[in-house]
Amino acid sequence: MIDKPRVRPLEAMPVKQDGQTLVLLRDPSRIAPEPILIGAGAYFLVTLFDGTRSLLDLQAEFTRRFGDILQSEDLRSFIEALDQGYFLDSPRYHARVAEIRAEFARAPARPAALAGLAYEADPARLRAEIVSYFARPGAPGAVPTPHSNGAALSGIIAPHIDPRRGGAAYAHAYGELLTRERPELIVILGTSHYGLGPELFTATRKDYVTPLGTVATDRAFVERLASRYREGDLFAQEILHRDEHSIEFQAVFLAWALGTAGYQIVPILVGSFHEMVLTGETPAFNTRIRAFIDALQDELTAERRQVLILAGVDFAHVGRKFGDSFTADEKVAAWVKSEDLALIENIKRGDPEGFFADIARDRDARKICGLAPMYTQLELLRGHNARLLMHDIAMEPQTESAVSFASLAID
């Protein structure tokens, strides 16, 4: 029995049911495969599960908060249920992580984790779904006829919000790709939402499977990059690729736009730079970040293939779902749009220092979850001009929250 329970990082969302406000606990890493719905008292306990409080401490705090006595048997049953579901940081959870790591290591490729959930799993239906995004409000309209008359792009910024909410922005990004010279090597920098350790950059050797075919990873490039990068281990947290959607969605749209032949990808997840936001340290002066950027730049400089650097990112995350004390309403949306567009001016002129300084100015008040991948991309493409294709905000009235995202083309 766990005597001092510690809860793992989870998403907590309020849910209205039968006139009551309950809390849905969900594990975005999917190690806990099923969400759990709990009441206010149970959620209060979960907020106290920090690994320092004994069962007696928890009972005492519960009584002070609610005036009721929490029976030891009920508390133990609740803790056991959470542990059985892998919501607690416990020996059972760590054993499950070890099993998942071993399963992923044995897999010949990275499966399509969200096919049938965030997008259609059937190839024909998926193609039709993506085409439908072009007809949405604010989208480009008709799907461009693929051609290579336009000059090659150096980079793209595309969303990683679920395609059914961000479809028009995806259409802008990948419609632009259809009209340009085809890339032969695509470095995908995705937001790592579920980091398990100190590594800031995580690669995989595995190909990405999509319903439209398998997008091949350039294993030789990844191995050379790992050898060059001496300040970290690119494969220490490779398991993060198993469920991370920020690269998966890009692989799906690449398979739609380019097919699965004639190019390879380099999938890299980028962890949080939030510590540097708080200290004001420019990321390029961080030893690990500088070493990675230099290693990747050296590999790209030696490339003879046409290279595209693609960032799968979103922008602001505001409202109660994301820990704010305010509701994301139309006034908040107007603030988010104004601040995002000011931030994007730094991207448009290829200015990584200005980009980071803009976010650090208010200590990342909007919680830009694409900060790290976009900063890395800007360092690699310093001085390149970008063009804003679309900016949008997905409002979530049910959680009183909002997420913003954008598409940009970088020449």
> Could you read off the pLDDT tens digit of each residue along the chain, which spans 411 residues?
799 999 998 988 888 788 788 999 999 888 999 999 999 999 999 999 999 999 999 999 999 999 999 999 999 999 999 999 999 999 999 999 999 999 999 999 999 999 999 999 999 999 999 999 999 999 999 999 887 677 899 999 999 999 999 999 999 999 999 999 999 999 999 999 887 668 999 999 999 999 999 999 999 999 999 999 999 999 999 999 999 999 999 999 999 999 999 999 999 999 999 999 999 899 999 999 999 999 999 999 999 999 999 999 999 999 988 889 999 999 999 999 999 999 999 999 999 999 999 999 999 999 999 999 999 999 999 999 999 999 999 999 988 999 999 999 999
| Contact residues for 198 (Cβ-Cβ < 8 A; gap 6+) | none
Q: Strand 185-191 and strand 307-312: pairing?
A: parallel
- Residue ranges of alpha helices (H) inside 179-266 are 219-228, 245-258
The DSSP output letter for 151 is: P
120 three-state secondary structure: coil
Dig out the tokens for 170 from the structure.
């995806």
Q: Which domains does the chain have, with CATH numbers?
A: 11-101 (no CATH), 109-410 (3.40.830.10)
Backbone angles phi, psi at 127, to 5 degrees: -60, -45
Query: What pLDDT was estimated at residue 92?
Result: 97
Angle between helices 72-84 and 40-48 (to 10 degrees): 80
Query: What pLDDT was estimated at residue 196?
Result: 61
Backbone angles phi, psi at 20, to 5 degrees: -110, 150
Query: What pLDDT was estimated at residue 48?
Result: 97
Bridge partners (DSSP) listed for residue 308: 186
Stated pTM of the model: 0.90
3-state class percentages of the chain: helix first, strand second, coil last, to nearest 5:
45, 20, 35
